[in-house]
Amino acid sequence: MSNNTFKKSINIVSENFNIASDTPGIELSIRNKRPASMTVFSNEKTIVMVHGATYPVGSLYDVELDGFTFLDYLASHGYDVYAVDVRGYGGSTRPPEMEQPADQNPPLVRTETGVRDFGSAVDFVLKHRNLTKVNVLGMSWGGTVAGAYTSLNNDKVNKLSLIAPQWLSTKPIPIDTGGPLGSYRLVPAGTTKERWLSAAPEGKRDGLIPEGWFEKWVEATLATDPNNKTVHPEHIRATNGPILDIREYWTVGKAFYEPKAITVPVLLVHAEWDIDVPLELAQNFFTSLTGAAYRRWVEIGEGTHMVLLEKNRLQAFQAVQSFLDEAYTPAGQ
């Protein structure tokens, strides 16, 4: 198979679950995709995923581009895949403060809350499939959520895959544009293309996002927020807790969790033009994973922080798949 072609060749079942969080009145939305023929479920073939600080599951992992999504790809390769929206995102309950003007409340959904919501999703999947462990995947802020969760729950994690995870930074982080932080921010999905492409060298911007893909992504992204047509047209809401954590942790030399506490195998996927998680930052994170059973770094050329939605996305998908496909027996078993 070449790096840029893939066709869905099996029937995939899609199912949605709404589960209770640890907060009364807050439900979490989980999207599941798996092969229709799958009848046996295992720790090794189950994945639980979490999104980043801005875009939910339906915008990041399940947008159909070139006939398939990231979830489709993993399901097509024999995985039972679950992707959870943290509270405030996608199909999950939005805290009541999100229906008020943003400047009336402090930043919502700190990383600690994201870790708790992710833990609720993992526990649901373990019980739903009668498993003892799952594979875990997160991107960007979701990489912090998945990494922090794993550092506290190695016994529930088979392998950990991280795509452009956050880490300590001595420079400003682009997602934090400065100024006072309200409870959430409004993100104008349709006008983000210029910033997205600006991470790439000028001569390489054409073709980074194949024709028609951006428009499909915008449509899918706007559909994740029920208020986008009425209260704030053409925008989605994203909570500001993760931005406050950038200010209180990542840019002041304070790690939110200890990567060395992760003892399972770890995959780091990174793209060369990522300005949100620059190369040096990714390297510093990778070398801090000293407790991992083993670790691997896959660097993708000609990609930005949003590589999962770009021309070279299949390279990222394949890196995750091949890492998870490998047999692994934890020490002592």
Domains and CATH numbers, the chain: 12-325 (3.40.50.1820)
* pLDDT tens string 300-330: 999 999 999 999 999 999 999 999 999 988 8
pLDDT (0 to 100) of residue 9: 78
Indicate the pTM of the whole model: 0.96
pLDDT (0 to 100) of residue 139: 98
* pLDDT tens string 159-194: 999 999 999 999 999 999 999 999 999 999 988 999
pLDDT (0 to 100) of residue 2: 39
pLDDT (0 to 100) of residue 4: 62
The sign one gets for the Cα dihedral 92, 224, 15, 4 is negative
Q: Which residue ranges of the chain lie beneath pLDDT 50?
A: 1-2
Contact (CB, 8 A) for 75 and 49: no
> What SS3 class is residue 18?
strand
Buried-state track 157-194, b at ≥16 Cβ within 10 A, e below 16? bbbbbbbbbbbbbeeebebbeeeebbbbbbbebeebee
The alpha carbon of 333 is separated from its chain's Cα centroid by a whole number of angstroms, namely 30
pLDDT (0 to 100) of residue 333: 67
Percent of the chain with pLDDT over 90: 92
Cβ contacts of 21 within 8 Å, gap of 6 or more = 27, 28, 87, 93, 116, 117, 120
pLDDT (0 to 100) of residue 232: 86
pLDDT (0 to 100) of residue 227: 80
Residue with tokens 């400003």: 172
pLDDT (0 to 100) of residue 3: 53
pLDDT (0 to 100) of residue 217: 97
